[in-house]
Structure 1
């Protein structure tokens, strides 16, 4: 006998969307929504597939994070070079 889901599909999708768009952890969001962490984790697995409804949102997030990583890496390299210049012994 299967148990009827207490949450409709729209609520589940909105919860996963919040997980993607906010910086809250899985635990924080599950507390805010009043669902267990395991339930939220299952919804995440269900909707965050390669062909799921959040495919575009996931790709946007990946693109944004890759751009941010490139910027931070470039900034770090610039800082390393500037430190090396300032630490050069002066004659």
Structure 2
């Protein structure tokens, strides 16, 4: 999809999110955004296709790197949680004096 669009990528993503979350008809959402309803329909379809098929641009190395980063972040959050748990127990004991 090297074809350029007159709409920025972020606008298209936001429009798709709005169309998916809205109870209004797609044509009405498109009209409110000032885009053709078929254009919005295509954006939604493309987003659905992109979600169902794994990206060929994502390599195994990138996935492994992301997994390492996520595991590191989980470890940091678990440590923070433990520190906060201990602090809460300490202050609860102090308040009981």
TM-score (norm: length of structure 1): 0.48
TM-score (norm: length of structure 2): 0.46
Higher relative contact order (CA 8 A, sep 6+): 1
More helix by share: 2
